């Protein structure tokens, strides 16, 4: 998991840091785009690990301009966990799902488009 997301962002030109309290932070030197990503691998306790990962992500949200993501194996157990999170919560927190295939290919599922309050 970790190697796949690091490789994904490096191939996109990001400077990657995987040595802090966050599983992965990275910044693109030309655009300034920043990511904060928490990752979990396949375990026997996918529900518990998913909620732990989501909690770690939410507690680390500090920068309104950064993109926040949860990296998970692309398996039915985690897909079921993602489906249990309300779209409005995903939109409000602007969470990206980074799904890693068995071959190590990362696909990014972006949050729904933000809509202004009262619209």
CATH number at residue 73: 3.40.1350.10
Boundaries of domain holding 18: 2-109
If phi over 0 gives left and psi between -120 and 50 gives alpha, with beta otherwise, what is residue 91? alpha
Assigned domain for 79 exists: yes
pLDDT, position 117: 45
In DSSP terms, 70 is beta-bridged to 38, 97
Q: What is the mean pLDDT of residues 85-99?
A: 94
pLDDT, position 7: 96
Assigned domain for 119 exists: no
Assigned domain for 12 exists: yes
Assigned domain for 114 exists: no
What is the band of 118 on the pLDDT scale with cuts at 50, 70, 90? very low
In the chain, what percentage of residues exceed pLDDT 90? 85
Residue 76 has pLDDT above 70, yes or no: yes
Domain count, the chain: 1
Assigned domain for 7 exists: yes
Assigned domain for 67 exists: yes
Assigned domain for 115 exists: no
Q: How many helices (H) and strands (E) does the chain have?
A: 4, 6
Rounded to the nearest integer, the mean pLDDT of the chain is 92
Q: What is the pLDDT of residues 21-58, one digit of tens each?
A: 889 999 999 999 999 999 999 989 999 999 999 999 99
Assigned domain for 82 exists: yes
């Amino acid at each position: 998991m970790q190697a796949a997301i690091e490789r994904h962002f490096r191939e996109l030109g990001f400077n990657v840091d995987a040595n802090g309290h966050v599983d992965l932070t990275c910044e693109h030197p030309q655009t300034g785009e920043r990511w904060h990503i928490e990752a979990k691998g396949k375990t026997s306790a996918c529900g518990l690990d998913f909620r732990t990962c989501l909690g770690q992500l939410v507690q680390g949200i500090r920068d309104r301009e950064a993109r926040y993501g949860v990296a998970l194996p692309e398996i039915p157990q985690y897909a079921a966990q993602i489906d249990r999170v309300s779209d409005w919560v995903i939109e409000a927190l602007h969470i990206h799902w980074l799904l890693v295939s068995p071959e190590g290919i990362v696909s990014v599922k972006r949050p729904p488009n933000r809509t202004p309050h009262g619209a």
